Amino acid sequence: MTFLEIEDSDKKSWTFFGLKADYTFMDNKKKILIIEDEPGIADSLEYVLKTESFDTIWVQTGNEGLSIVGEKQCDFVILDIGLPDINGFEVLKQIRHASDLPVLCLTARVEEIDRILGLELGADDYVSKPFSPREVSARIKAIMRRGSSNTKTGDCPFIIDTNKRQITYFGQKLQLSRYEFDILSLLANRPGWIFNRQKIMDLVWLEPDESFDRTVDAHIKMLRAKLKAVRPDIDPIETHRGIGYSLKEGL
């Protein structure tokens, strides 16, 4: 008899000097689903994530990925936009429809970035190819930290109902214009992220305006007034001089 025997991984037990023990605690690792058709990229991601104590599942098609998401077998999704069977945007949409799993997108095309972060799709973050797997792992950890400290129903004062296009702030429904709603959703979905005026214009307006600086500033000013009417002691929108705006972290 060897002193330690892993009996059967399905039974989740091991034998230590003949004593049987349960090892379900070993399953506490976060499981990351990698949806990526290029084996070279998937291999290097799996290698790095495993050394960082994550579990990984790798699939090469969007359909396989969606069935794993549907069976709730993962805690996080890395999603390549260029997949052989379904477009990554469609996969993202369906994941968002079925769950609130965090999603990090991989993209080879700069022009896809705006759509990835766009309001209706809402990936949590993206990295552009080529990337270092360590960078991906750092982003995943940042998203997980953000997720655990700032849940939408917990401490965060904003509740966003995208179907009704309604935002509640400290329990009070805000009366917002179309643009105000979209700007506040954009900022509130990613606390701490700084969006410059051009980016806000590109993501919110259907026909971006030439005078975007003044237009965006005017809407931010209105938003601040409406937020202040609810809580005069807090200004949740931060101005970064010469850069843009963000929503304060840890509100």
Q: Which residues bind Ca ion (CB under 5 A)?
A: 37, 80, 82
Kindly state the smallest distance separating residue 73's Cβ from Ca ion, in Å. 22
Name which of 82 and 147 has its Cβ closer to Ca ion: 82
For the CA atoms of 59, 62, 65, 71, what is the dihedral angle to 10 degrees?
-150
Kindly state the smallest distance separating residue 39's Cβ from Ca ion, in Å. 11
CA-nearest of 9, 59, 12, 10 to 32 is 59
Cis (ω within 30 of 0) for the bond into 130?
Answer: yes
Name which of 80 and 180 has its Cβ closer to Ca ion: 80
Kindly state the smallest distance separating residue 30's Cβ from Ca ion, in Å. 24
Give the bridge partners for 57, in sequence order.
33
Name which of 125 and 180 has its Cβ closer to Ca ion: 125
Kindly state the smallest distance separating residue 203's Cβ from Ca ion, in Å. 25
Q: How many CB atoms lie within 10 A of CB 79?
A: 25
Name which of 79 and 117 has its Cβ closer to Ca ion: 79
Q: Are strands 13-16 and 19-22 parallel, antiparallel or unpaired?
A: antiparallel
- Number of residue whose CB is nearest Ca ion: 82
Name which of 106 and 176 has its Cβ closer to Ca ion: 106
CA gap 167, 173 in Å, rounded:
6
Kindly state the smallest distance separating residue 230's Cβ from Ca ion, in Å. 45
Is residue 210 a contact partner of residue 201, using CB atoms and an 8 Å limit?
no
CA gap 79, 101 in Å, rounded:
12
